[in-house]
Structure 1
Amino acid sequence: MTDSDRTYLGIDIGTSAVKVVLMNSQKELIAQSCEKYDVSELKEGHIEIDPEIWFQSTEECLHRIFKDQNAECVSVIGITGQMHSLAIVDERLESIRPVIMWNDIRTKEMIGSLKRVFSGFSGGKQLSRTISTGSPAAALCWIREYEPECFSRIYKFLIGPDYLVMRFTGKCVTNYCEASTSCLMDIGSHVWSEQVRKYIGLSESAYPALYGSSEFVGRVRPDIARRFGFRSDARVIAGTGDNAATSVSTGCLEGGYPVLSLGTSGVIVIPTDDIPEDAPGKRILVSVDGRKFICLVQGVIQSNGRTVNWWAKDILGISNLEELEKNINCAKGRKENLLFYPHLGGDKTIYSDPNLRGAFINLGNDTTKTDMYYAVIEGLSFAVRELIEKMQISLERYGSIKVTGGGSNSDLWLQTLSDVLGIVVEKLNGGIGPAFGIALLAMYADHHTGPFEKISDGYVRVNKEYKPDPENHAMLNRKYQKYLRIHKALEYINDSDTVPSDADGSDFSCRA
């Protein structure tokens, strides 16, 4: 097989679907497939999935792709996916219980005490600030507390896409990206935290080995090679988390500029050491080779594309969003006082409050469903601005912000975002995302041609620019100041200990 014949698989295990892409050595997409699946929520906030569903869905995608493509040309396989989700396996490498997903909130009552405990450890300030519902450390503490029999059987824990790496190679490993956001690692020293390990009560052997994202874990298992038609020498790299993989495919990791992904959640990432240590946001440790490390700072709007789908599809019953957006009167929406607060499923970065919820404010008898849809888009754009400001990211320094993800297909959303931020929004080409990023890392591992900083050269393109209208920006800026008051108002409303008073300050709670 010549170098020009070699192909590279990128597999992305998402929250609701797996996406598989096949790329050639010229960085051209030659095939792709997607398979959707459902997570379960048997109890409110307990969001889980059988990890074998990930493997079975990947299998469906691979069979479709290799109907028309030659599986023997696959040289390297890269696997990425949702960060934080926790899988545990026994000595036979079989799943002990369903995966606890990244957006699971069963641990919300434990987070306060965990923050206090972790703050006293080495690197505790970072650990205390990072731990939240969905963190692997918190999920392990929950299993120890409520499912001790499962906890006692843990041979290895794995994080998100690590499970599929294990299924393909038989090796239990993770990468520095997944480890650094697990709250199980001392980021400063790049090793697992001994203090956290002892607190949770795991043995050292339960921890997966640490690898750089493009380091080879091993060859595909013989049964996997036979199942899909791979060569026996096809290799698998350790991979990385989906946001880090996206930062590769967008050029963010190499170029040093911010990228916003408008997916199920809204995620902004930027490689930098300049953001103040006390600013909110997770510090992600990214290493391609296991020797050189890059700090990628990440902030999240937890309910983003999901919020749009909730309003348009679940409430309005409309699946064609493009048709719906044609009927939106943006000029009317900007002028109205109608506001939407979008944190339907809590918040991890701005307020670290899993109990935070959304709201429509200033509804009137003349409010229409399209008015409310515009308010949803506007509210999500306000949330992005608040996130960027709280993280102390100076967009003016970069002159624009690059945007990817499913939400970037909405002209309404991107123009509103540009007007809210007062900066150019650049929509990246469609071949962008975690699956493409991990395929690029797989190709890099195979060739090591040129510096890593050139990995996305010729791949990243801006499809369309959205420029802010000064008048609209000024109008939305005034509206944004009102938006910022909503959080305090909701705190006041939801505080059962608060006793309201009338204009003269007297208590009216017990009046007849």
Structure 2
Amino acid sequence: MKHVYIGLDIGTTSIKLSAVDNKLNTLYENQYMYNYLTPHKGWREIDPNTWVEIVLEGLKELFLRVSPHEVKGFGITGQMHTTVFIDKHGCSVRPAIMWNDTRTKEMIPKIKARLKAHESSAHIAKIVSTGSPLANLLWVKENEPENFDAIDKILFAKDYVILKLTGHYSTDYCDSSTSSLYDLNKDGWSETVQNEFGFNKELFPPINYSSAVVGELTEEIRERLGIEARISMVAGTGDNVAAALAAACFENDQPLISLGTSGVLVIPNRFHQLKDAGKNVVAKIQNGDDTIITQGTVQAGGKSNSWWMENIYRTKDYAQEQEHIPAQLLGNNDVIFFPHLNGEKTLHANPEIRGAFVGLSFETTREEMYLAVLEGVAFGIRRLFDFMRNEEDPKYFTVVGGGAKSGLWLNIFANIMQFPIKHVRKSQEAVHGAAILAITASEGAFSFDSHEYQMIQPDQLLVQKYNKKYENYLVLSDAILQYTEAVKNK
């Protein structure tokens, strides 16, 4: 009998379900859209039962095409930070406050100051922001005391679905470590935060490894689905770790670059090595795993490319425009592009920074400006890497996302980053990372097919040229930072 594994992804505006075999070949897949609530300006909420009902309807459809007796387990991932407030009966006290909610923006400076007042929580002050579970929970405490008194547990999006499907309370290290309620040094819920803000330690659920089995479908759920099979469910993980898992980021502990709307750099290490720059996320896929991923972002990464093409060139034919860029222009472009079109949040935490072109002349061509955009994003990623890198050099960078479809861009990245670029031909998503967790729980491990990727090697002559240009990019970066501060203080 073949074994089937189901991945669930509780996204911000959609839920994805995917049934795969143990080689990650897709047997069935579907996506269900939904809307969240905006009762006031800046507020973003949702009744968490919305997720459960969609998942159950999706599973009913899935089991019409896949035999439930072949399913060996469920893996789950989802939006991070979204906070669900549970009473002693396991019911939602109020609508969940989502990760993109901004009602707490006036509270954040005070929260940061209180965290910085204690040495053991000072590192948490770097990551707390609007939408953080700490801020969300504190907002309920200060503004809805009756609701706060009724809270028995807090959970995150995927955890609420687990509770309703299995009856068990659980979270994982990824969601807890990014909640601003977690002590990265002690590797558990922060007692300092609990004491400082008056939170009972019983509010916080058990933390499990992502592939740990935490329960199985309850009899009530099996009846609703019309199945008899007793299917197990793992603790799951946040969408960032799931996406990295699906891109084979953890297979050889090599860094990942994701060129989607933003440009995300993810650097894993197995030794709980905390970095001063970037967001440290505890992964812990299996028992005995101490993996940390450090994540940094060039917010306008992949979007810079689409902005230039669609807003400036007024075309969506990316391939044709890139074909017009002559190979001899690589490393010899006089134009430099600073890619932070909508602020910078990893190294400088400055939302006021904006992009720029430098080196323009009457001789500047269309091709030089477009090449500068592609190079600028790669320079921005390299600067992140310089601040966030591990002690050992990487063997390669894996590049995924829409931007990875460009052979030209991959070549640019290989020569600017100075290391080979691994391009995964069969692109996987976070929902497949969730399925990998279920495979890992059942079979002990998962390995990717080595034929599903290609390696792009750097050219040493281009590496030397781009190193010189990168030095100029750093000078430009420092100048723009000074300019931004000067304008701000004017």
Q: TM-score, normalised by structure 2?
A: 0.83
CA distance in 2, matches of 1:425, 1:79: 29
1:446 aligns with 2:442: yes
Q: Residue by residue, what CA displacement relative to the aligned partner does 1:131-165 show, whole Å, maximum 9, x if unpaired?
A: 34443223333444556565455443222422332
1:408 aligns with 2:407: no
CA distance in 1, matches of 2:307, 2:374: 12
Structure 1 residue 460, shift from structure 2 partner: 5.2
Q: 5 Å matches for 1:109-188?
A: 110-121=107-118, 123-145=120-142, 151-188=148-185
Alignment partner, residue 70 of structure 2: 73
Alignment partner, residue 196 of structure 1: 193
Q: Residue by residue, what CA displacement relative to the aligned partner does 1:314-336 show, whole Å, maximum 9, x if unpaired?
A: 67665554455445557558644
Amino acid across the alignment from 1:93: C
Per the alignment, do residues 95 and 464 of structure 1 end up closer, same or farther by CA in structure 2, a change over 3 Å counting?
Answer: farther
Q: Residue by residue, what CA displacement relative to the aligned partner does 1:293-322 show, whole Å, maximum 9, x if unpaired?
A: 333333333443444445545676655544
Structure 1 residue 241, shift from structure 2 partner: 1.8
1:486 aligns with 2:477: yes
- Paired residues of 1:253 and 1:270 also in contact (CA < 8 A): yes
Secondary structure of 1:5's aligned partner: coil
> Which residue of 447, 450, 456 maps to 1:466?
456
> Which residue of 265, 281, 285 maps to 1:284?
281
Alignment partner, residue 205 of structure 1: 202
- Paired residues of 2:440 and 2:446 also in contact (CA < 8 A): no
1:301 aligns with 2:292: no
Structure 1 residue 116, shift from structure 2 partner: 3.5
Alignment partner, residue 96 of structure 1: 94
Equivalent pairs counted in the alignment come to 486
CA distance in 2, matches of 1:181, 1:201: 20
> Which residue of 271, 274, 277 maps to 1:273?
271
CA distance in 2, matches of 1:164, 1:327: 50
Q: 5 Å matches for 1:315-354?
A: 318-319=315-316, 321-328=318-325, 335-353=332-350
Q: 5 Å matches for 1:15-54?
A: 15=12, 17-35=14-32, 51=48, 54=51
Structure 1 residue 10, shift from structure 2 partner: 1.2
Per the alignment, do residues 39 and 489 of structure 1 end up closer, same or farther by CA in structure 2, a change over 3 Å counting?
Answer: farther
CA distance in 2, matches of 1:420, 1:131: 32
Structure 1 residue 223, shift from structure 2 partner: 4.7
1:422 aligns with 2:418: yes
- Paired residues of 1:286 and 1:294 also in contact (CA < 8 A): yes
Structure 1 residue 272, shift from structure 2 partner: 3.9
CA distance in 1, matches of 2:365, 2:145: 52
Per the alignment, do residues 278 and 268 of structure 1 end up closer, same or farther by CA in structure 2, a change over 3 Å counting?
Answer: closer
1:390 aligns with 2:387: yes
Structure 1 residue 25, shift from structure 2 partner: 3.8
> Which residue of 243, 249, 252 maps to 1:252?
249
- Paired residues of 1:169 and 1:221 also in contact (CA < 8 A): yes
Per the alignment, do residues 88 and 495 of structure 1 end up closer, same or farther by CA in structure 2, a change over 3 Å counting?
Answer: farther
Q: Residue by residue, what CA displacement relative to the aligned partner does 1:454-477 show, whole Å, maximum 9, x if unpaired?
A: x23344555222222334334433
- Paired residues of 1:271 and 1:296 also in contact (CA < 8 A): yes
Structure 1 residue 56, shift from structure 2 partner: 5.7
Q: Residue by residue, what CA displacement relative to the aligned partner does 1:87-129 show, whole Å, maximum 9, x if unpaired?
A: 334555236235322x556555544443332234463243234
- Paired residues of 2:76 and 2:158 also in contact (CA < 8 A): yes
- Paired residues of 1:35 and 1:60 also in contact (CA < 8 A): no
Structure 1 residue 388, shift from structure 2 partner: 0.4
Amino acid across the alignment from 1:285: V
Secondary structure of 2:250's aligned partner: helix
CA distance in 2, matches of 1:41, 1:364: 48
Alignment partner, residue 504 of structure 1: none
Alignment partner, residue 510 of structure 1: none
Amino acid across the alignment from 1:213: S
Per the alignment, do residues 26 and 489 of structure 1 end up closer, same or farther by CA in structure 2, a change over 3 Å counting?
Answer: closer
Amino acid across the alignment from 2:123: Q
Alignment partner, residue 507 of structure 1: none
